[in-house]
Structures are given as structure tokens and as C-alpha cells.
Amino acid sequence: MLRFNIDFEKRIFGFDLLRAFAIFCVIHRHGRHLLNGTILQGFPWLPLPHGVDIFFVLSGFLIGYSFIVNGDKNEGKITLSKSMNFWKRSAFRILPNYFLILTINYILTSMEMLNGSIDKFSFLKFFTFTQNLFYPFYGFFWESWSLATQEWFYLLFPIVLMTLGEKFKMKNVIPIVCILFIVVSVFYRLGISGLIYDDFWWDVRIKKVALSRFDCIYWGVLAAWVRFFLKEYWMKYAKILFIVGVLLFVIIAKLPKEIHTVYYNVFYLSLVPIYIALWFPLIDQLKDIKTIIGKLITYFSILSYSMYLFNLLIIRLLDKHYSTAMSNNATLKYVVYWLITICLSYLLYMLFENPISVSGNKILKTTNMMYKRIDSAENND
């Protein structure tokens, strides 16, 4: 039997919990229509954040913090070797799954087993992650939009740090870089806001264009800067910031989202990562839960990438070929959707994702960039 090989002592439980919650939000959002007409319609009957937004902010936070720590150990500078180490580890972690699922999507779409068009596929664009860099794309492998956005962050962030770090201190560089990318995204949305005329185009032209979403990731980087350079305040006001973040989430969830408004077209997507980042100081201090539930949360966190890539593919297959199956028990169909997603993601991780990542890192002798949770007794760095 295939088993996880996990060192739970090195896991950050709070962020495992957040990652597991994020993938739940993603998978539930894609499959919630299966519950329509059942007693569970509208479950969980509360507004949920977008899971991808959580992934974006968390990615910016963890990667940003790793680079800040490495820069601090090297007189405030990021070396090319550290950046290369990061790029190689990211490649072995992200690319194998991406290209495998891309290939599966291409085959199933060309066989008309999936709705869509291979005319929307461009090998050059999908290979270079430029399918949604400046312009919208749709109709093929929709879920790749977030991966492309993150890949450009992975590429540009170290380059900008290395460039500016030659003349400026890391403490000053990070806020400047974050503000720069946040402003660029806001101005991009402002520039195209007049082209949005319905929900579909808002989704593909504003929400799913990389240049429009960099700000979400860089709010996470800015949170990492606060965590490192203002750790005392990060710890002291953790509960207050969490409460403020929750209240801000509720307020934003209740505000009307109307096309053609400056709020929704321009500023909404910059406000969302702020309330997510405000949760981090408290989540950062959560202790490991050494129970079955705690371990399950960690397992879900580890499988989240594979689950993200698989779930939309599965729901599209179910909707196209099995729309009337289990029509008398839609709740069971929803459960089956989850079970298939989990099982396939587990196999993908154990047989493909993890072996390639581990082997690749051993061959290239890369080093892990770990994030250490704050404990109340921890001394300042």
C-alpha cells in the first residue's frame, strides 16, 4: 500500500489547515451545482472565499518570507544560486503535473470527451505560461490560468529582488516591489474596465489574466515582510487582525458585485487578499493537532495541487457524460465527485508528483526553503 512519508514536526499546521480549506473551497465551488434540488443546496449556507485567492496570498507569503530570510543571511542580497535553487525546486514541483494534465486535457478534448476546443490550444503559449499573461483565454484547460499567474511570479520576483538588491537594502526593496506590482494590477484593471460587459468577460478578462492578479500574490509577500521585520506586532495583534480580517471578509461578501462599477472591476480583487493576509498572524501560531483529523488536514494540504488539477476535469466529464446519472440521489453524486478527485489525486501524488520532485531535487542537489512557525517562546530573529 502506498503511504505518505511525512515529517509532521516540520509541517506548519496552520498553513496546512488554510491550504486544505482553500482546496475545499475550489472543489466545492466547481461541484456545488450537483447539490441543487437537494436538502444540501447552498451548502455550507455561508459565503466562502475563493480558494485560488487563498493559494495566491499563501504562495506570496511563504515564498516571499523564504527570500527575505535568505537575503538577510547574505547582507540583504539575493544571490543567483539561491534563485536558481528556488527555480529548480519549483520546476520539479509544478511542471510535471501541469504538463501531464495539459496532455490529458488535450487528448480528451480532441476526442470530444470534454467540451471545449483544441483550437484554443497553443503549445508555445502553454509551454511558456503566456496563455493568460496579458490577454484572456478560455475554452481549454481553464484551470491553468492560476498556474500561469503563479509561474510568472516565481520567475519575476527573484529577478526583481536580485536587480534592486544590488543598490537597495532588502528591507526597503520588498515594500517597493509589492507596491509596484499592486499598482500595475490595479491600473491594468482600470484600463480595461470599460471592456467588461457581462459576468463571463469579467471572469476571463479581469479575474483570470495574470497581469490583473499579481497584486493578490504580492499582498502575501507584503505580509511576509511584516512577519519578518515587525514580528513583535505580528504576534501581539494576531487575534485582533484575524477578527478584522473576518469582518472585512463578511463586509466584502455582502457588498453587491455589479459589472461596470469601479469597485467591482478595479478594487474588489485588491481588497480580497487583504482580509486573507490579516488571517495569517493567528494562523501562523496554530499548534499541530496530533490527531486523526489533524493528519487528514495535512494529507489534504499535501494533495491540494493534484486535487486542483484534477477536480475540474472530473466535474466536466461528469456533467457531459453522466448528467442524468444518480438523478434521484444528487447528494451521492456530489460525494462520488469528491471521492474520485481524492483517489486520483492521491495516485497522481504518490506515483508521479512526489517521486519526480524528490528524485529531481536529489539529482540537482537543491535545498529546501522551509518556513518556521512562530511560537510564543520563540526569540526574535
Q: What are the DSSP calls for 159-172, one per residue?
A: HHHHHHTTTS-HHH
* Centroid of chain to Cα 147: 8
Long-range contacts of 320-327 (CB under 8 A, 24+ apart): 320/113, 320/114, 320/115, 321/113
The H or E element that residue 78 is part of is none
Q: Give the tens place of pLDDT for each residue, 277-302.
A: 999 999 999 887 778 899 999 999 99
Q: How many CB atoms lie within 10 A of CB 270?
A: 18
Does pLDDT of 350 surpass 90? Answer: yes
Q: What is the mean pLDDT of residues 153-164?
A: 93
Alpha helices in 165-291 (DSSP H): 170-192, 199-201, 210-229, 231-236, 238-254, 262, 268-283
Q: Give the tens place of pLDDT for each residue, 72-99.
A: 888 778 889 989 999 999 999 999 999 9
214 contacts 185 by C-beta, under 8 angstroms? yes
Distances from the Cα of 327 to the Cαs of 36, 113, 242, in angstroms?
11, 21, 42
Q: Give the tens place of pLDDT for each residue, 213-230.
A: 999 999 999 999 999 999
Q: Give the tens place of pLDDT for each residue, 183-210.
A: 999 999 999 988 888 999 999 999 999 9
Distance, CA of 234 to CA of 237 (rounded, Å): 6
Q: How confident is the model at residue 5, as a pLDDT?
A: 79
Q: How confident is the model at residue 380, as a pLDDT?
A: 39
78 contacts 161 by C-beta, under 8 angstroms? yes
Q: How confident is the model at residue 73, as a pLDDT?
A: 84
Does pLDDT of 3 surpass 50? Answer: yes
Lowest mean pLDDT among 2-16, 79-93, 150-164, 246-260: 2-16
- At residue 369 the predicted structure's pLDDT band, cuts being 50, 70 and 90, is low
Query: Reduced to 3 states, what is the DSSP secondary structure of residue 98?
Result: helix
- The reported pTM is 0.94
Q: How confident is the model at residue 323, as a pLDDT?
A: 84
Distance, CA of 17 to CA of 126 (rounded, Å): 31
Secondary structure letter of residue 205 according to DSSP:
I
Q: How confident is the model at residue 379, as a pLDDT?
A: 41
Q: What is the mean pLDDT of residues 341-351?
A: 96
Does pLDDT of 337 surpass 70? Answer: yes
- At residue 169 the predicted structure's pLDDT band, cuts being 50, 70 and 90, is confident
Distance, CA of 228 to CA of 245 (rounded, Å): 20
114 contacts 312 by C-beta, under 8 angstroms? no
